[in-house]
Amino acid sequence: MRLLLPMLLLALGGCAFVDASHPLDPDAPRSKQAKATLTGRLALPEGADAAALRDATVQLTEEGAAEAAHTTSPELTGDFRVTGITPGTYLVDIAVPGFAPASRSITLTLAQTADLGDIALTALDTHGTVAGAVELVGRGPVGGAVVEATTGPITTTAADGTFALDLPAGGHRLRVRFPGYVTAEVEVEVTQGQTTTLDPIALRARPGGVEGTVRMGPFDSAERRLTATVDVSGPSVHQVAPDAAGDFAVSGLAPGTYTVRVSAPGYAPRTRSVAVQPGETAAAGTYDMTHLSDTPDAVTLAGRVTVAGAPRSGATVDVRFVGLPGALATLTTDADGAFSTPAAPDERYTLAVMGAGVVEVERGPFGYDLNSGDFVDTEGMGTDLAVEQSCAAVICPAGTRCDPGPMRCVAGFAADRDCPDARFCDDPGACADGCRDTAGCPDDHTCIDHACVPD
């Protein structure tokens, strides 16, 4: 008892962690997985000579493979045992001279010991043979395709696509399948002692697809992603747009190689080649788009800011996208009032000028003119911007205000705050009687047009 307790604790502790190479880990490489064992017994008809089992064979072929993985012979009792089987789905083919071949399908798991039980053998004189070939549309003959009769017998095609299946005389339905392809069904009439040869069975590929993601560089936004176009061309042609997250997907594609091209206004297109396999969705990856302003195809957007004909330095110029958030660039005018930035020839921009004692304005939109090589507005006017001075930077003495025309202080008041209580600043810059706002009115009154009106 003292020895059993430590051993039990050790066994329980050993279950806490199984690394990826442990034989009992289903994620371990197949070569390292714990092997399975398969047993069974071949049952001859009553009165049959057991000597027929001397030349019998039992073969295990993994589904999708063209060659057998294991071959053994039964005892004269009919019992057989196959060890060292890698977990998977197998077709068990039994061949006994003078008897119809038998077959079974079984899925074996890690370290499993499975028993097929009694497999009844039938004398050949009640059977016929169905022979044929399986091919994949566009690819030709295929090995490893599964051919199964709905009555039970099953086999796989050889490397050249051919198969032969012994069946009891009468009508049968065959199902033919291969990974990634649509299962086909064939009706066949089997004649005792004869071979029925079928026309080639062509399997059509299941449609596949392609998916990917679009990113718009430093100007990336949901609105930007929606302007992109994805063209998929190959055995068929498709066009889609990514969603606001930048994701796109195209389904229903015939297998083959496709060119996936992503384009958007203001951006250099990007192209990739993607192979679509039967029944699978290929990953085209992420398309990181480059704005044309960062490429050799960029054009120059340039202009000058002037006030009363004189250049204005230090002004801020925002080059803003039309219909999209953000700005291409924020610039500062130089001593000559000039500004410039690389831009995309197929985008439109507005120009917002502010600061440096000027009245803030936004002009445009401006688009690139191929003939002149300049950006112009809808009336053909360029990007030289004449703006007005602003009083924002002018400080006037008490009792005076800034006149934006001559940009000088003149007699008068600039705002309500410069007037005494219960008075407001009228348009000429003089203080007039009346309320400024409701706060200057008695309770239950509202200031309307500088007069306190009862509620």
What residues contact residue 240 under an 8 Å CB cut-off, 6+ apart?
Answer: 230, 232, 248, 249, 250
Best CA proximity match to 43, nearest among 94, 108, 93: 94
Q: How many CB atoms lie within 10 A of CB 59?
A: 18
Residues forming beta bridges with residue 132, ordered by sequence position: 163
Under-70 pLDDT residues of the chain: 1-21, 125, 391-431, 436
Taking a C-beta distance cutoff of 8 angstroms, is the pair 328, 320 a contact?
yes
Whole-angstrom CA distances from 17 to 21, 25, 109 are 11, 10, 20
Looking at residue 419, its pLDDT comes to 66
pTM: 0.56
Distance between CA atoms of residues 436 and 295, nearest Å: 56
Best CA proximity match to 353, nearest among 395, 394, 321, 320: 320
All structural domains of the chain, each given as residue ranges with its CATH number in brackets, are 30-122 (2.60.40.10), 125-203 (2.60.40.10), 208-291 (2.60.40.10), 298-387 (2.60.40.10), 394-454 (no CATH)
Looking at residue 27, its pLDDT comes to 72
Distance between CA atoms of residues 438 and 123, nearest Å: 110
3-state secondary structure 113-162: EEEEEEEECCEHHHEEEEEEEEEECCCEECCCCEEEECCCCEEECCCCCE
Looking at residue 11, its pLDDT comes to 46
